[in-house]
Amino acid sequence: MTSPAHSTFLRRIEFSDTDAAGVAHFTRLLAFVEEAEHAFFRSRGVEPFDGVSGWPRVAMETRFLAPCKFGDTLEISLAEWTVEGSRLQFSFSAEIAGRDSKVECFRGVMRVCHVRIDAGGAFQPMEVPEEIRSALLGQGD
């Protein structure tokens, strides 16, 4: 079942996020998705990374729809959260904030995995604990 949880995150395009084509580099846009994810985690009282557990990426799909430039602010929306075993999935979309008409920059789906990081640094997938599942997705989702 998909959670009704929905969050938005604002992120300005900084100079070090841009490239010589004059726009935000696509890899920085994907880093912003992770920033939005972490902001959502914190808003639900869940620590995104504590050194002994974390959420490495498992898969992603992205469509890049329009470029964004230095100084633009992106409004990144996360939604459609689902949990299955150790996997957490959500959809993301980003539009340029403050425009009269909507300009969608990119959208996609991210799948991450809950892992324990062992003493040697290896990642061991672990089922998403119930308290994290309910914090992120809501009771009864």
Work out how close the CB of 11 gets to its own copies at its nearest, in angstroms, rounded to a whole number. Answer: 10
Give the residue ranges of DSSP H helices in the chain. Answer: 26-43, 130-137
18, 12 contact by CB (below 8 A): no
Work out how close the CB of 60 gets to its own copies at its nearest, in angstroms, rounded to a whole number. Answer: 5
Q: Which is nearer to its own copies, 6 or 63 (CB)?
A: 63
- Taking the C-alpha atoms of residue 97 and residue 82, their distance in angstroms, rounded to an integer, is 27
Q: Which residues are near its own copies by CB under 8 A?
A: 14-16, 18-23, 25-28, 30-31, 34-35, 38, 47-49, 51, 54, 56-64, 67, 69-71, 117, 121, 123
Q: Which is nearer to its own copies, 59 or 126 (CB)?
A: 59
Work out how close the CB of 125 gets to its own copies at its nearest, in angstroms, rounded to a whole number. Answer: 12
Q: Which is nearer to its own copies, 117 or 135 (CB)?
A: 117
Residue closest to 94 by CA, chosen among 2, 5, 11, 3: 11
Q: Indicate if the alpha-carbon torsion angle 60, 58, 32, 81 is positive or negative.
A: positive
- Taking the C-alpha atoms of residue 28 and residue 45, their distance in angstroms, rounded to an integer, is 26
Work out how close the CB of 43 gets to its own copies at its nearest, in angstroms, rounded to a whole number. Answer: 13
Q: Which is nearer to its own copies, 31 or 131 (CB)?
A: 31
